[in-house]
Chain A
Amino acid sequence: MSELTDLYQEVILDHNRRPHNFRVIEGATKQEGYNPLCGDRLTLYVAMDGGVITDVAFQGSGCAISKASASLMTDAIKGKTADEARALFDQFHAMITSDHAGPAADLGKLSVLAGVREFPTRIKCASLAWHTMKAAVASETDAPVSTE
């Protein structure tokens, strides 16, 4: 059960109950993300100015892992450039998919999601918001992003 408490740390449960930046940003780029495996569905709003993410928020329904990950992501990427946000996704993705438990790059608060690597079926939950963000900053398209 220790892996379970690694996965569902108090920080994650808190973000699930009271997600940060859980709101709509009028006029921002809007991107849908969907995980057909479990039905997680979120809408990400990204406001950018001169290549910098000035505000980011989300709405939707999902499991605790996907909701906490979206909440933590919005905190982490606000004020970053699109390139910096993408680079952070690469590091985050490496952390949640790494085979060995050694410390990856220090990702600050995002590190609470490192426990996901012990639960391969949940990696898509943790990465949904990030895939959606990548699509949002790459284009203005409204085509839904899927983890499938």
Chain B
Amino acid sequence: MATGVSSVAAQLRPGFGGPAAFEVAKIRADFPILTERVHGQPLVYLDSANTSQKPEAVLKAMDDYYRHANANIHRATHLLSERATALYEGARAKAAVFLNAPDPRTIVLTKGTTDGINLVAQSYGRATLKPGDEILLTWLEHHSNIVPWQLLAGQTGAVIKVVPINEAGELELDQFAALLSPRTKILAVGHVSNALGTINPIKAMIGQAHAAGAVVLVDGAQAAPHLAIDVQALDCDFYVLSSHKMFGPTGTGVLYGRAALLDAMPPYQGGGDMIASVTFEQTLYNQVPYKFEAGTPNIAGVVGFGAAIDYLAGIDREAALAHEDAVLEYATAQVRQIPGARIIGEARHKTGVLSFVLDGVHPHDAGTILDQQGVAVRTGQHCAQPVMDRFCIPATIRASLGIYNTREDVDALVRGLHKVRELFV
């Protein structure tokens, strides 16, 4: 049952004939929802950090799976189960290539980033932490990279320490170095901040944490849709991400783990497929990664995730990032010109996110007025209450970008913000 993973990987290297040049009009044509109208207006989708939209190729892969391959994986001898298993394991192999993981065995398919972090906290963390050990987080973390560690601290007697941020929304790296000690057992850090868009210098941080003897988990949910990720070059111990932020479906994602750590970790959940044999006296667990995949998974979601990875492999990602950076720079300049606008998070290295507040207008009201004009943004705390508290604001308006966004989208946002001001100021 747990065989053939590596051989599937060899067939699934992406980039047939190399990626095509980046043309945003062509990219937009790949995403059917972008022609949708909302409240009678053309949709301007600026909420991709919340969840990205899905290209036709992903929708078709999931539809095709249900029409032509639907069966349970790893279990049956019939043809449909073979097809389903090949698609599912194929997606795992694609994820390994996407992250430059050394082996598909190091790729655990999860429900998403939150699930991956909880898995590491409850399996690795619970088995290793002792009272007084320290878990180091940062002030930029999403609630999903805070709460699982608080639960773990409550269970083990470990203590949580937090790396502060400066006014620009960047980590205070001297404070980070000062907080590292032999007591630091786990560093859990986001690659890119969801609330502010800050790109953290994780490679250097991983090196410093390793030197202190800590294991490092990187929350890559916001990095995956924008940046190239190489877990071997980063030398991280765990890297987690979600399919739905990177143009795949919701409800699935990946945990990459260093093989020796995964092998030594106890199971996270019990159930079918994660076992080798079960009697009432003794159960033998399956090998990794299956040990961590109890129950029938979100097979169609994983198939769609595989298609999303293929989609990204088929575009020039460096050119896509250059395009996104140019749109972000344009948006930052445009919003800065609006009277009363204040940008929250002005890190030197940012990607994909423009968070801001408008004097005299609560973000939630701005969100409703923008929505009526077809502009979808997120308003609120972005599951990052400590970041809001740090800047002494209740919430922000967050415009976040995907590869399909344009300067015209930014212009629509700015027109909308002027309407907000007309009504409120």
Contact = CB atoms under 8 A, between A and B. Distances in A.
Given A37-B380, A38-B380, A39-B381, A119 B368 contact: yes
By DSSP majority rule, is chain B's interface helix, strand, loop, or mixed? helix
A61 interface: yes
A63 B365 contact: yes
Contacts of B363: 38, 63
B379 A38 contact: yes
A28 interface: no
Indicate the size class of the contact surface on chain A: 20 to 34
A8 B423 contact: yes
A39 B424 contact: no
A36 B372 contact: no
A64 B424 contact: yes
B379 A13 contact: no
A44 B379 CA distance: 24
Interface string B361-382: 0111100110010000001110
A3 B368 CA distance: 11
A41 B394 contact: yes
B397 to A, nearest CB: 11
Contact of B372 (A4, A41, A65, A67): A4
B372 A1 contact: yes
B121 to A, nearest CB: 22
A110 to B, nearest CB: 19
Nearest to A4: B372
Interface in B30-56: none
Contacts of A15: none
A4 B370 CA distance: 10
Contacts of A82: none
A136 interface: no
Which of B362, B369, B381, B424 has the most C-beta atoms of chain A within 10 angstroms of its own C-beta? B362
A78 interface: no
Nearest to A8: B423
B372 A39 contact: no
Interface string A1-31: 1011001100001000000000000000000
B423 A38 contact: no
A139 interface: no
B216 interface: no
B246 interface: no
Contact of B423 (A13, A39, A121): A13
B326 to A, nearest CB: 31
B294 interface: no
A65 B394 contact: no
B130 to A, nearest CB: 33
B364 A38 contact: yes
Contacts of A62: 362, 394
Nearest to B379: A38
Nearest to B369: A4
A129 interface: no
Contacts of A40: 364, 394
A64 B381 contact: no
A100 to B, nearest CB: 20
A13 B424 contact: yes
Contact of B362 (A36, A63, A119, A121): A63
A47 B405 CA distance: 53
Interface of B: 362-365, 368-369, 372, 379-381, 385, 388, 394-395, 423-424
Interface of A: 1, 3-4, 7-8, 13, 36-41, 61-65, 67, 119, 121-122, 125
